[in-house]
Amino acid sequence: MDTRGKTNIEFRNEVSEVLACHESSFDQIHATLQTIFTDLQVLKAQTNVSTTGDANPFAVSDASQSTKPYPQPRTPNSTLKLYFPKFTGEDPTRWIYRAEQHFEFQGIVPAQRVQLALFHLEGIAFKWHCWFVKFKGFVNWTEFTMALLRRFGPTEYEKPSETLTHNHLIDIFIVGLKGEVRLDVKLKTPHTLSEAIGVARLVEECNNLQKKPTPTIDLLGPPPHLKNTPIAETSPPPIKRITYQEACNRQENGLCVLLR
């Protein structure tokens, strides 16, 4: 009886120990699941903040402070490589325009524009700049372009149209037109040079259409006085028979004789 009683007591103790171990394992599993659930809630909250348009894009949660900041988006200007135009002394107006477009696109500040342009001067343009800096020193971009145009740009004799007013340009254009076009353009009194050019083209086109003959015979048929008019048939002249003596005389004179 004692042995049997001890055995039951030991068995109960072992069962109790096993149950205690299982309860401890369940507690650990529950704590782990609770931690995972909390992390998922934090990630869900961060996702909602980043995807919601009404949320403050500059707000940073406590859970996201330890993460790395998002890199700033790179502008197309920093990835697209453009080549600065070179200048050898020809067409300075076009080169200045392209250079200024390059400065605007690349975001070059005005203080660095002249210095950047100097690396792209070649030939006589580079020699001129060396002389210019020796006497004038370093200047800003506006002064540099004005001096460049005075040196390499067209003279007033080569570009007289820039000194004329807009009305004078219109008058000069109208005077150079043809006589039949000039009067119609004057009557329209164009206010701009482009308008005068457009009116002149329309007038010239109308005049060309009026000069073309209209094919009335092909479309409406022949005139009434030509209808039902019989065509006279021409008959060949009658054959005249000649004598042998007449034939000999014609041959002596070099005339043709038809022999049958």
Quick: pLDDT tens for 117-173: 888 899 999 999 888 888 888 889 999 999 898 888 876 555 555 556 777 788 888
Strand partners, 121: 87
Q: Which of 24, 79, 70, 73 is nearest to 46 (CA)?
A: 70
Q: Which of 88, 85, 121 is nearest to 102 (CA)?
A: 85
What pLDDT was estimated at residue 74?
45
Q: Where in the sequence is the domain holding 197, given as residue range(s)?
A: 166-211
Inter-CA distances, 112 with 76, 78, 106, 148, Å: 21, 17, 12, 17
Q: Tokens in use for 7?
A: 């055995």
Q: According to the 3-state scheme, what is the secondary structure of the chain?
A: CHHHHHHHHHHHHHHHHHHHHHHHHHHHHHHHHHHHHHHHHHHHHHHHHHHCCCCCCCCCCCCCCCCCCCCCCCCHHHHCCCCCCCECCCCHHHHHHHHHHHHHHHCCCHHHHHHHHHCCECCHHHHHHHHHHHHHCCCCHHHHHHHHHHHHCCCCCCCHHHHCCHHHHHHHHHHCCCHHHHHHHHHHCCCCHHHHHHHHHHHHHHHHHHHCCCCHHHHHCCCHHHCCCCCCCCCCCCCCCCCHHHHHHHHHCCCCCCCC
Q: Tokens in use for 230?
A: 């019989």
Number of folded domains that form the chain: 1
Could you report the average pLDDT of every consecutive run of 10 residues in the chain (260 residues)?
62 77 75 81 75 50 46 50 84 90 88 88 90 85 90 65 69 83 84 86 86 62 60 67 76 68
What pLDDT was estimated at residue 95?
92
Asked if residue 198 belongs to a domain, the reply is yes
Asked if residue 175 belongs to a domain, the reply is yes
Model's pTM, two decimal places?
Answer: 0.35
Residue 233, exposed/middle/buried by CB under 10 A (0-12, 13-18, 19+)?
exposed
What pLDDT was estimated at residue 73?
44
| Residues 174 and 185: beta-carbon distance below 8 Å | yes
**What's the CA gap between 87 and 94, in Å, rounded?**
10
Asked if residue 177 belongs to a domain, the reply is yes
Asked if residue 86 belongs to a domain, the reply is no
Q: Tokens in use for 6?
A: 């001890």
What pLDDT was estimated at residue 11?
75
Asked if residue 137 belongs to a domain, the reply is no
What pLDDT was estimated at residue 214?
62
What pLDDT was estimated at residue 205?
86
Inter-CA distances, 186 with 61, 168, 171, Å: 76, 14, 9
Asked if residue 174 belongs to a domain, the reply is yes
Write out pLDDT tens, residues 110-132.
888 888 888 889 999 999 988 88
**What's the CA gap between 158 and 225, in Å, rounded?**
66
